[in-house]
Amino acid sequence: MRALTSSLPRALISALLGICLAASLGASAQGDQDALTAQRRIEAAYLYKFGSYITWPAEAFSGPDSPFVIGVAGDDDMADELTALVAGRSMNGRPVLVRRVHAGQSTTGVHLLFIAAGTPEGDTLIDGARDKPTVTVAEGADGLDRGADMSFVLVNDRVRFDIALDVATRDGVKVSSQLLSVADKVVGGKP
Amino acid sequence: MARSRPSKLQALLGTAVLACLHAGIAGAAANDSGLENLSLQELSDLPITSVSKKPEPLADAAAAVYVITNDDIRRSGVRSLEGALRLAPNLQVAQQNNEVWDISARGGNTSLADKLLILVDGRIVYTPLFGGTFWDSQNVMLEDVDRIEVTSGPGGTLWGTNAVNGVINIITRKAKDSQGALVVVDGSGHGGDVAARYGGEAGGADYRVYGTLKDNYPGSSSMGGKVADGMHIAQTGFRSDWSDFTLQGDAYQVNEDQDLPGRARFTGLNLLSHWQTRLAGGSDISVLGYYDRTDRYQPDNYGELLDIADVEFQDTLPQLGAQALVWGASYRYAMDHFQNLPGSGLLVLPGDKNLAWPSLFGQDELTLSRDWRLIGGVRLEHNPYDGNQFLPDLRLAWAFAKDDLAWAAVSRAVRSPSRIEEDAFEPSQPPFSLVGNPDFQSEVAWVYEAGLRMQPSAQWSYSVNVYHYDYNNARSLDATTLPNTPPFTFGNNLAVDSDGIEAWGTYKPLDNWRFQLGYSALHESQRLTSPLALSASTTLYDDPAEWWTLRSDYDFADGVELELNLRHVAALPNPAVPAYTVTSLRVGVDLSRQLELSVIAGNLFYGPHTEVGAGPDTAQFGRSVFVKLTWRP
C-alpha cells in the first residue's frame, strides 16, 4: 500500500491512510511489506495514547487552541504513520501535530519527543529536552539510563514501556497513575 | 441436576436430564480495529507476532466470529467461564443455578444443549454421555485466558461433529505471556474465589502453575427456600512451552450439593501436548494429543468414569498458486464406565462401553480474484452409532472494500448420538417408561448463512449475520408402540426450521469510551413427522425470540474504569420465564501499580429474576455486590 501511494502528495497519503490504515490493523499487517515494523506501529499508537495520560502545564502551550506536538526523531516512516494516525483527531480539544525532528533542530514546543534507537543525535536531543516540558521517549532497556523520561522495551514479544518517575514532578508535567500502572518498570521510587 | 416437574412428560425428559446428567476460521488477531483504538492495557498485551505474522485476521474470516479478549473479561469482572461467555453476543447463556448453565448459539438452548462444541486449548470438553457440556467441571483461570473465539454456525468440517450451532475456542496464554506472580481474591454474599498463578523460566522452557479455590453458596429458589446448589471447586494446573512444543494439564475436584442425600463429587485431570513445526517444504505440521479423565459421582444417582484419548494431526500446506490447502486426521477414543447405582431412577446398559471416532478432513481455499475467495472443505467422521458422516462446507467471501467483507456459506452439520439416547432406561427396573433407541440416528442440519462485516470509520464497526437451519431428523421423544403410551424412546421424528439474525457492533466516540451492542433474534418452528412422536419433543427448543446486550466501558484518568452492562432476554416459552433486563456496573480502581480493586454491582434496578427453568432447582437472582482484588507484584 505504501509503495502504491509513495508517489502521491503527502496530504493525499494522509487522507488515504487516515481512512484505511488507521481503520485496519489486520489488513495492513498481512498485506504488502510495510516499511514500518510492527513494533514501531505499536509504538506510534502508544505515543498517540500517551497524550491522554500526561498533563502538560499551560505554559507548554502558546495558547488555548495551540496544537499538541509530537516530535519524531530517527524514523521518518514512523512520523508518517503517526501523521496519518492523528489526522482529524484532537487531544484534549487541541489539534495534534506530528513534527519530524532532525539533528540540530530545536525541540522547543514539542510536548512528546520520540527518539528511535540508533538515532545518531539521540542523546543530544534527550539532553536538550531536559529543561523543557518535553517528555522524551527512547527505545531500549537503557533508555532511562541515557536520560530519557520513558523508553519502549520488548517484553515477551510485547511492546511495553519503562518510565522515570521524576517526569511526574518535573517542569509541571503530570503523569496519571493509569499510565504508571501499565508501565513495565517505574524507576525512581514507588508511585 | 436440571429438573422440572410440571408434567409427567416433562418429568421424564427432566429425569433424563438429571441422569444425563472443534475455526481455523477464526483468526488470532484479537482486535479488528486500528491500534490507536486499543487501550494502553490492550496495547501492552498485544503480541507483535499477531500484528506481523499471518494468522488470519478476524476481518478475513468468512464466518460469524466474535472474539472475547482478556481485557474484555477483566473489565467485565466476571468470575466464571460461563459468565465470560455472556460477553459474546452470538451466544445464549442462561443460568439455572450455580451448577447448571444452559449455553448454546442459534437456539436449542436447554441444559441438554448438544450442538455447541467447546475446546480448551484444543481439548474437546463435549461429553459423549448425553451430548453436551458439563459446565460445572469447566473451570479456567480467567486471568490467563488469552482470548475466547466464539464462532456461531457450523464448524464441523474443521472441528468435528457436534459443532452444529457453533464452536467456542478457549485459548489460554502462552507461558511466556503469563510470567510472574498473580493473586486474585474476590467475594460476595454468594461465594468467593482465591486464585494464584506463578510463571517463570526453567530448563529452556517457560512455565506457569496455578491453583484456584472457589465456593458458591446455595442460592435462593424461585419457589422459596434454598436451591441445593452449593458447590466447592478446587483446581490446579500448569503449562510449559518450549519453542515448538507445549505440555499442559489440569486437575480438579468439584463438590456439589444435590437434592438427594449426600454430595456429588466430580474429579478430573487432563494432560495435553501440542507440537507444531514447519517442514523444509513449508508445510506447517501440528500434532495435538491429550488424555482427559472425568470421574463423576452423584450418590443415589449415578457414577461415571470416562477416559478419553485424542490425537489430532494437521498439515497446512504452503500456498500453491491460488490454492491454500489444509488437511488432517484425528482419532478420538473413549472408555466409558457408567456405574448404575442402587436407588437411581436411571439405568445405562451396557455400563461399560468403548467408543471411537476416527476422522479425516481437508479444506481448500481458492483465491478467485483479488477480492473473491472460495473455501471448500469436507470431513468424514465415523461414529460408533450410525457409522460414517460427511460434513461438507462451502464458503464464498467477497472483500468488497478494505475492512469490509461479505460472505455466504452452506454446510451440512451433524450432531452424533450420545449414550443416553442409545443405552438408557428409566426407571431402573421394568416396566420402563423410557428406553434407549439403538437405532437413533445423527441429527443432521443443512445450514445456510450469510454475513456482512463493515468498518465504516475508525470509531464504528459492525457485523450482521443471518442464518437458516433445516433439520428433518431432529431428536424427538417417541412412543414405541401406541401413540402417547409408554414406554417412550428417542427418535428422529422432528423437523425443525430455524431462522435468525445476529448483529453486533462497536462504537468508540472517544479514545477512552467504548460502546458494544449486540442483538439476536430467532424464530424456530417444529413439526412432528411421525404419529408416534410426542408433542413434548419440542420442549428442547426453549428459546427467547430475541435478546440484546449493551456494554459501555469508560476509562477515567488516574486508573479508574467504569463499565456498565445491560442484558435483555425475551420471555421463554416452556417452562415460561418472563422477559428480564439485567444491569450491572463495575468500578475498577488501580490502587497502585500492583493492585487493582473492582467493585461489581449486579442486577441493579430490577427485582429478582429467574433465567431458565421452573421448580425448586431454579434459582432466582437478585441484587448482588462483589469485591475483587487483583495483585500483580
Chain-chain contact of A24 with B402 (C-beta, under 8 angstroms): yes
Taking the C-alpha atoms of residue B48 and residue B38, their distance in angstroms, rounded to an integer, is 14
Question: Which of B33, B52, B402 lies at the smallest CB-CB distance from A29?
Answer: B52
Helix, strand, coil percentages in chain B from 3-state DSSP, rounded to 5: 10, 55, 35
Taking the C-alpha atoms of residue B96 and residue B111, their distance in angstroms, rounded to an integer, is 9
b vs e for B174-185, b when ≥16 Cβ sit within 10 Å of the residue's Cβ? bbbbbbeebbbe
Beta bridge partners of residue B357, listed in sequence order: B332
Taking the C-alpha atoms of residue A51 and residue A70, their distance in angstroms, rounded to an integer, is 9
Question: Which of B52, B455, B559 lies at the smallest CB-CB distance from A23?
Answer: B455
Chain-chain contact of B29 with A26 (C-beta, under 8 angstroms): yes
What is the predicted pLDDT for the residue at B12? 32
Average pLDDT score over residue span B372-382:
95
Provide DSSP, B32-83: -S-GGGS-HHHHHH-BHHHHHS-S--GGG-SSEEEEEEHHHHHHHT--SHHH
Taking the C-alpha atoms of residue B3 and residue B10, their distance in angstroms, rounded to an integer, is 9
Measure in Å the smallest separation between the Cα of B174 and chain A Cα atoms: 10
Q: Does B30 touch chain A (CB under 8 A)?
A: no
E runs forming strands in B245-351 = 245-257, 263-278, 284-298, 302-316, 323-340, 347-348
Measure in Å the smallest separation between the Cα of A155 and chain B Cα atoms: 9
Taking the C-alpha atoms of residue B114 and residue B82, their distance in angstroms, rounded to an integer, is 16
What is the predicted pLDDT for the residue at B47? 62
What is the predicted pLDDT for the residue at B50? 39
Q: At residue B81, what are phi and psi to the nearest 5 degrees?
A: -60, -40
B504-532 pLDDT, tens digit each: 999 999 888 999 999 999 999 999 999 99
* Chain B CB contacts of A38 below 8 Å: 48-49, 51-52
Is the pLDDT higher at B106 or at A127?
Answer: B106
Taking the C-alpha atoms of residue B1 and residue B266, their distance in angstroms, rounded to an integer, is 13
CA torsion B65→B70→B71→B72, rounded to 10°? 50
Q: Does A154 touch chain B (CB under 8 A)?
A: yes
Distances (CA, A) of B166 to A110, A128, B123, B136, B153: 52, 59, 16, 20, 5
Query: A48 by DSSP, 3-state: which?
Result: helix
What is the predicted pLDDT for the residue at B23? 23
Average pLDDT score over residue span B17-31:
27
Rounded to the nearest integer, the mean pLDDT of chain B is 88
Residue B478 C-alpha cell reads as: 417417541
Burial class (CB in 10 A: 0-12, 13-18, 19+), A31: middle
Q: Does A141 touch chain B (CB under 8 A)?
A: no
The contacts of residue B3 (CB under 8 Å, 6+ apart) are: B14, B15, B17, B18, B259, B615, B616, B617
Q: Is the alpha carbon torsion for A46, A49, A51, A55 positive or negative?
A: negative
Rounded to the nearest integer, the mean pLDDT of chain A is 75
Residue tagged 485424542 (cell numbers): B310
> Does the pLDDT value for residue B257 go beyond 70?
yes
Give the amino acid at B61: A
What is the predicted pLDDT for the residue at B206? 94
Chain-chain contact of A45 with B43 (C-beta, under 8 angstroms): yes
Average pLDDT score over residue span B430-449:
93
Q: At residue B50, what are phi and psi to the nearest 5 degrees?
A: -70, -20
What is the predicted pLDDT for the residue at A114? 95
Chain-chain contact of A182 with B57 (C-beta, under 8 angstroms): no
B129-179 pLDDT, tens digit each: 989 999 999 999 999 999 999 999 999 998 999 999 999 999 999 998 899
* Chain B CB contacts of A44 below 8 Å: 35-36
> Does the pLDDT value for residue B402 go beyond 80?
no
B335-356 pLDDT, tens digit each: 999 999 887 878 899 999 999 9
Residue closest to B301 by CA, chosen among B348, B255, B335: B348
Taking the C-alpha atoms of residue B320 and residue A33, their distance in angstroms, rounded to an integer, is 20
Q: Residue B583 belongs to what H/E stretch?
A: strand B580-590
B83-95 pLDDT, tens digit each: 999 999 999 999 9
Nearest 5°: the CA angle B482, B487, B489 is 95
What is the predicted pLDDT for the residue at A4? 30
Distances (CA, A) of B318 to A185, B285, B362: 41, 11, 14
Q: Are the CB atoms for B208 and B197 separated by under 8 Å?
A: yes
Q: Does B370 touch chain A (CB under 8 A)?
A: no
